[in-house]
Amino acid sequence: MAKTKYDVAVIGAGPGGYVAAIRAAQLGASVAIVEKQYMGGTCLNVGCIPSKAMLHVAETFHNIDAMEELGIHFTKAPTFDMAKAMAFKDKVVKRMTGGVSTLMKANNIDVFDGLGSVDASRTVTVSQNGGSTAQFSADKVILANGSVPLMPPFPGIDGKNVINSDTCWALTTKPESIICVGGGVIGFELACMFNALGTKVTVVEMLPNVLAPLDDEVRKLLVRILSKRGIEIVTGAKVETIADAGKLKKVTASTEKGEQSFTAEYVLMAVSRRANTSGLEKLMEQGLDTDRGRVRVNDKMETNLPGIYAIGDLVHGAGLAHVASMEGEVASDNALGHAATMDYNVVPNPIYTFPEVAFVGLTEAQAKEQYPDAKVERFPWAAVGKAVAMGETEGFTKVITGKYGEILGAHIIGPDATNLVSEFSVAMRGELTTDEIIETIHPHPTLSEGLREAVLAVEGRPVHIGPKKQLARAR
317-332 pLDDT per residue, tens: 888 999 999 999 999 9
* Coil, helix or strand at residue 394: coil
Q: How many residues does the chain have?
A: 475
pLDDT at position 270 is: 96
Q: Which amino acid appears at position 127 of this protein? A: S
| Eight-class DSSP state of 399 | E
Q: Give the count of beta carbons closer than 10 Å to the beta carbon of residue 146.
A: 29
Residue 7: pLDDT over 70:
yes
Task: Tell me the residue ranges of DSSP E strands in 238-386.
Answer: 238-245, 248-255, 258-264, 266-269, 273-275, 290-291, 294-295, 308-310, 349-351, 356-361, 375-380
pLDDT at position 468 is: 58
**Mean pLDDT value across the chain:** 95
Confidence category of residue 75, pLDDT binned at 50, 70, 90? confident
Residue 469: pLDDT over 90:
no
Task: Tell me the residue ranges of DSSP E strands in 89-150.
Answer: 110-118, 123-128, 133-143, 147-149
Do 451 and 434 meet the contact criterion of CB atoms below 8 Å apart? no
* pLDDT, average across residues 271-292: 95
pLDDT tens-digit readout, 169-213? 999 999 999 999 999 999 999 999 999 999 999 999 999 999 988
* pLDDT, average across residues 343-365: 97
Residue 403: pLDDT over 80:
yes
* C-alpha 193: how far from chain center: 15
Q: Report the candidate in 358, 360, 331, 277 with the shortest Cα–Cα distance to residue 16.
A: 331
The percentage of residues in the chain with a pLDDT greater than 90, rounded to a whole number, is: 92
Paired strand residues for 399: 377, 410
Residue 1: pLDDT over 90:
no
Confidence category of residue 65, pLDDT binned at 50, 70, 90? confident
Q: How far is CA 414 from CA 218, 423, 433, in A?
A: 10, 15, 24
pLDDT at position 317 is: 83
Do 44 and 176 meet the contact criterion of CB atoms below 8 Å apart? no
Residue 408: pLDDT over 50:
yes
* pLDDT, average across residues 126-139: 92
Q: Are strands 396-401 and 375-380 parallel, antiparallel or unpaired?
A: antiparallel
Among positive and negative, which fits the CA dihedral 157, 159, 163, 167? positive
The percentage of residues in the chain with a pLDDT greater than 70, rounded to a whole number, is: 98
Given 62, 442, 444, 464, which residue is catalytic? 444
* Coil, helix or strand at residue 120: coil
* pLDDT, average across residues 220-248: 97
Separation CA 16–CA 41 (nearest Å)? 9
Burial 161-171 (b: 16+ CB within 10 A, else e): bbbbbbebbeb
List of domains in the chain: 5-148+274-335 (3.50.50.60), 162-271 (3.50.50.60), 349-474 (3.30.390.30)
Alpha-helical regions (H) of 241-302 = 281-285
Residue 44: pLDDT over 50:
yes
Angle between helices 82-106 and 17-26 (to 10 degrees): 20
| Torsion of Cα atoms, 284 then 287 then 289 then 294, to 10° | 0
* Coil, helix or strand at residue 156: coil
Paired strand residues for 62: none
pLDDT tens-digit readout, 252-265? 999 998 999 999 99
Residue 386 neighbours by CB under 8 Å, 6+ apart: 445, 446, 447, 449
Confidence category of residue 129, pLDDT binned at 50, 70, 90? confident
Told to judge if 444 belongs to the known catalytic residues of this protein, a careful annotator would answer yes
Q: Are strands 5-11 and 273-275 parallel, antiparallel or unpaired?
A: unpaired
| Eight-class DSSP state of 68 | G
pLDDT tens-digit readout, 409-434? 999 999 999 999 999 999 999 999 99
* pLDDT, average across residues 445-467: 95
Q: Which amino acid appears at position 268 of this protein? A: L
pLDDT at position 318 is: 83
Separation CA 265–CA 249 (nearest Å)? 6
Phi, psi of 431 (to 5 degrees): 55, 40
pLDDT at position 369 is: 96
